[in-house]
Structure 1
Amino acid sequence: MAPLQTSHAVHLAKCNLLSIFNERDATKRKQAMAESYATEMQMYEPDKVITGHDEISSTAGALLDAHPDWNFAPAGEVFVNHQIVTLNWTFGPVKGGDVFLVGEEGKIEKLWVMIEGVTSVRL
């Protein structure tokens, strides 16, 4: 498989963070998921694995509902290495990052959520 084009990696990172996890309208969120996520998408949170667009959309919606004054914002650059993409973010006072795997169809297949203080370890 050829390495992922940088422009596509940036598009997917922005879509995942801003059009999916920052989107409070469930219909718009699911439209963005159809564009960017594989059908059997899996999201790895620190305490569970969530599978499929419906479950991930519900998780994102519940998170946004629990924090109505918070928004996700990119924090730094998008990193790309072959099919792996990372982007750090903030959500209110919370810092974290996403690591995702892009499949052959050019869509995100797996997403790992990293959260400062939860999945981080000091050196």
Structure 2
Amino acid sequence: MSDMNELVQRYLTAWNTTDANTRADLVAELFTEDAEYTDPLVSVTGHAGLDATIAAVQGQFAGLEFSLGAPVDTNHHIVRFTWHLGAPGAEPLVIGFDVAALAEDGRIQRVYGFLDQVPAGL
């Protein structure tokens, strides 16, 4: 379980990393080349699509950070976790959860994201 906890923390770090080169390195390290990411607002495939999605979210929510909202839950090669997006120390603006399926090499192959709380107009 600790490996999955570490993976989720690194995943959230990628979403919080604003330096484009560092973020691209994290995406390549964490995700398979053909990784798929789907949530109610976007569906992308591959490192470039993931990186562009993360950059767009950072642009929309500048200054906010992703954090783990509840304990990580695992089932074989699948992990699910709740996340919060907000100013550090403040109530989260957005709450969601992701389910990620890992490839045999331990990198993320698919992410299915769900939004539980979003601001009006999103």
Give the structure, 1 or 2, with the largest relative contact order (CA under 8 Å, sep 6 or more): 1
What is the correspondence of 1:38-49 to structure 2 with a 5 Å cutoff?
38-49=32-43
Q: Which residue of 2 aligns with 1:67?
A: 61
**CA offsets per residue over residues 86-117 of structure 1, 9 Å max, x none?**
11111121101111001111110000111015
Contact kept in structure 1, 2:97 and 2:114, CA below 8 Å:
yes
Contact kept in structure 1, 2:85 and 2:95, CA below 8 Å:
yes
TM-score, length-scaled by structure 1: 0.85
RMSD: 1.3
2:52 maps to a residue whose letter is: S
Provide the rounded CA distance (Å) in 1 between the counterparts of 2:61 and 2:103. Answer: 32
Kindly, what percent of the aligned residue pairs are identical?
A: 28
Provide the rounded CA distance (Å) in 1 between the counterparts of 2:41 and 2:54. Answer: 15
* Residue number among 2, 10, 20 corresponding to 1:7 in the alignment: 2
Provide the rounded CA distance (Å) in 2 between the counterparts of 1:85 and 1:28. Answer: 24
Moved over 4 A (4+): none
Provide the rounded CA distance (Å) in 1 between the counterparts of 2:117 and 2:26. Answer: 29
1:114 maps to a residue whose letter is: F
Shift, 1:30, TM fit: 1.1
Contact kept in structure 1, 2:38 and 2:44, CA below 8 Å:
yes
TM-score, length-scaled by structure 2: 0.85
**CA offsets per residue over residues 56-98 of structure 1, 9 Å max, x none?**
1111111111111211111111111101101111112110111
